[in-house]
Amino acid sequence: MKLRLFTICIIFLCFSQSYANKIIPLTTISFGLNSKLIYDLNVGTYSVIQGKKVIVADAFTSFKNHGIFTSSKEYTQRLYERTSISDEFGKGFKHEISMLKKGLPTMKLIFYTHQKAEVIIIQLEIKGQNLESNYLVPMDAKLMNSGLEKDSRTLFVPFDNDTFIKYNAKEFENDVENISSEVGAIYDDVSRAGIIAGSIEHKIWKSAVETTQKKEKRRLKIWSGYTSKDVTRDQIEHASLSGNSIKSAKIFFGLFADWRTGLETYAKANRLAEPPIVFKWKEGTPIGWNSWGVLQGKINYENTTKVVDFFADSLKNFRNEGIAYIDLDSFWDNMIKGGYEGDYTQLKAFTDYCRKKGLKPGAYWAPFTDWGFGSGPNRRAEGSKYTFGEMWTKVRKGYHDFDGARALDPTHPGTRKRIDLVIGKLKALGFKMIKIDFLGHASVESTSFYDRKVKTGMQAYASGMEYLLKQLNGEMLVYAAISPNLASGRYVHTRRIACDAWKTIKDTQYTLNSVNYGWWQTYLYDYIDADHVVFAKESFGENKARLLSAVITGSLILGDDFSINGQWKGIAKKLLSNPEFLKIVKNGKAFRPVDGNTGDKTSNLFIRKIGTSYYLAVFNYSKKDLDFDTSLKRLNITEGKYQAIEIFDQKKMDFKNGTKLNVGSESASLFKIGAVK
């Protein structure tokens, strides 16, 4: 009788547990002050809720293994486990959903939460035998409209800054499809509330954030394994990883009252997830001159030393921490005889002259490109026994040609011997800055790399950049020009925010598109840069706008031909004598955009608080004078009494809600705003 009763109790308990699992299968993961993720263990989907608002719903996960697509909804058993963690983001919890089904790899969806963080980090892992995948999707979800209805935007972020590509704050409406590289922002520009989602690891995968709206139904998908000829520059699909465990990049997912704060938080998370391996920079914001602005291929010893004289004699105060750089861009080899293995006597004379005049010499190089590939494959690569043909990055039956150059395999010993030679020469000559360019050529997907352990383009990029840094050995400021937006954060001190820009109001507007929607990279790099500032013979208004576009980006590199006389010399002396510009540049951080609803254009207002003062930059790209209305609330300035001074003309004014700021055609103004005591 007792045995029978015991058996009945066990059956009842098992039935009750099974019934309970069907009725209450939900696992709740809390994060931030008022957010939670709810995972349905029966169905294999999850939702994210903030307060009472559902942000995403019915999110599922998926992957490809040997080309076969599998979804989290296909699994029959799901288990939840929570463990305490302490990592680079602080103390928190690891929440692991393990999904099991006979005949399928184990799927693990991992959520990381941290104390007081308004962000959840998501990662997908598959485990099994002999796996092969180039596609892992931690989130594919219904995107709800909660709080994003007034001026809804979905931001396109480029993979790099090549081909004059632009950021695009697209209107989020029907029939919109937006695939953004590495990170996406979905926000309402009126309330500024927004969702930020993006990868924070870049050493293995290229990732993407896709947002779509069809028939008023929105979706959000985040995945690792993205390539696009027009965005990542790849000619083939993303390479596959193989093994018994394959993980996606970790994905940052946050809900923010201000999308701008969200993107800044995202940038900082990247710097924590993949800390810089370039040596710590201690000498302050870099300023100086670069030859590509005007001189370009005409540089020689005579004209570059005359530029040095101008900086030494006429721009004595244009220094930060007593330092300014005179940077020779492409064609510095005009000053050597016999190629990279030849005679460097004249180039040595240039670096000596810089030091004599109290300036630091800089150089340029594109270490992962072959510009002479049209001359055939059998040319010996300098510094090695290898031919260029052996070093070319292989793509199916061909090679990767882009921007007029052929990509070199970053893992090939010939590429590395060539790096040894050139970097060794530049160090020996005493160069203290190097501008490295066309780095995207090192990140492309290849049919195979010389190093067989390297499978993906980003693995090759990491391998090549790590090797380059070892050769630089902490002796130079490292500046990246054309390069991946996010993956370069580990390797360089400063990075150009956009493609080439010169002197006109169109150059200013193009550059500021990248500042408008990419300013947050100021927290990923030590500094971001607006490229060489050229005054030339443009109007004074355009000169002011071009200068200010650089100042608000965070650093300042000039580019005119100061070896000859021209109005640009007087403009440089006049504008750069104002100490406020150097004060802002010394701060080194980019200004925030006031608006984020300009599509692939740029807004007119940018602001930053430095000390107790607000600095408001106002740009007028049109051919007529304009008045700009101001709102303290919109500018994030506390209500009160303020006075403003326009930095260029030193005019003072009261500053309050509704103050109209007049800016001339194709020009710019900078207002320093302080509280009236």
Dump pLDDT digits (tens) for 632-661.
999 999 999 999 999 999 999 999 999 999
Burial (CB < 10 A; 0-12, 13-18, 19+), residue 10, is exposed
- For the ranges 22-31, 112-121, 439-448, the lowest mean pLDDT is seen at 22-31
Q: How confident is the model over 463-518, as pLDDT tens digits?
A: 999 999 999 999 999 999 999 999 999 999 999 999 999 999 999 999 999 999 99
Instruction: Give the span between the Cα atoms of 468 and 147, in whole angstroms.
Output: 47
pLDDT band with cut points at 50, 70 and 90 for residue 145 = confident
Instruction: Give the span between the Cα atoms of 157 and 178, in whole angstroms.
Output: 10
**667 strand-pairing partners:** 620
Buried b (16+ CB within 10 A) or exposed e, 274-303: bebebeebeebbbbbbbbbbbbeeebeeeb
Q: Taking Cα atoms as reference points, which of 170, 159, 230, 258 lies closest to residue 199?
A: 159
Domain spanning 605-675, CATH architecture: Sandwich (2.60)
Q: Taking Cα atoms as reference points, which of 342, 438, 328, 440 lies closest to residue 382?
A: 342
Q: What is the DSSP-derived secondary structure letter of residue 484?
A: B
Q: Are strands 477-480 and 433-436 parallel, antiparallel or unpaired?
A: parallel
| Residue 262: predicted pLDDT | 98
At 239, phi and psi to the nearest 5?
-65, 155
| Residue 4: predicted pLDDT | 42
Which CATH entry fits the domain spanning 321-496: 1.10.3720.10, 3.20.20.70, 3.30.450.40, 3.30.479.30? 3.20.20.70
Q: How confident is the model over 35-52, as pLDDT tens digits?
A: 999 999 999 999 999 998
Burial (CB < 10 A; 0-12, 13-18, 19+), residue 351, is buried
Instruction: Give the span between the Cα atoms of 445 and 459, in whole angstroms.
Output: 10
21 has a pLDDT exceeding 80: no
For 32, residues 6+ apart whose C-beta sits below 8 A from its C-beta are 50, 116, 117, 118, 119, 255
Q: How confident is the model over 100-115, as pLDDT tens digits?
A: 999 999 999 999 999 9
pLDDT band with cut points at 50, 70 and 90 for residue 24 = low
Q: Are 464 and 410 in contact (CB under 8 A)?
A: yes
**Number of residues assigned to the chain:** 677
Instruction: Give the span between the Cα atoms of 184 and 197, in whole angstroms.
Output: 5
Q: Taking Cα atoms as reference points, which of 275, 240, 272, 264 lies closest to residue 112?
A: 272
Burial (CB < 10 A; 0-12, 13-18, 19+), residue 2, is exposed
User: Structure tokens of 488?
Assistant: 């370069």
Average pLDDT, the chain: 95
2 has a pLDDT exceeding 50: no
Which own/partner contact pairs does 25-30 have at CB distance under 8 Å and 24+ positions apart?
Answer: 27/80, 27/95, 27/97, 29/95, 29/111, 29/113, 29/120, 30/113
For 55, residues 6+ apart whose C-beta sits below 8 A from its C-beta are 47, 48, 49, 143, 144, 146, 195, 255
Sketch the domain layout of the chain as residue ranges. Answer: 26-273, 321-496, 605-675
User: Structure tokens of 502?
Assistant: 């010169």
429 has a pLDDT exceeding 70: yes
Q: Are 308 and 526 in contact (CB under 8 A)?
A: no
Q: How confident is the model over 348-365, as pLDDT tens digits?
A: 999 999 999 999 999 999
For 347, residues 6+ apart whose C-beta sits below 8 A from its C-beta are 332, 335, 336, 429
Instruction: Give the span between the Cα atoms of 247 and 26, in whole angstroms.
Output: 25
Domain spanning 26-273, CATH architecture: Distorted Sandwich (2.70)
Q: Are 247 and 461 in contact (CB under 8 A)?
A: no
- Whether 26-273 and 321-496 share one fold: the answer is no
- For the ranges 319-323, 424-428, 544-548, 673-677, the lowest mean pLDDT is seen at 673-677
Q: Taking Cα atoms as reference points, which of 94, 103, 120 lies closest to residue 31?
A: 120
7 has a pLDDT exceeding 80: no
pLDDT band with cut points at 50, 70 and 90 for residue 10 = very low
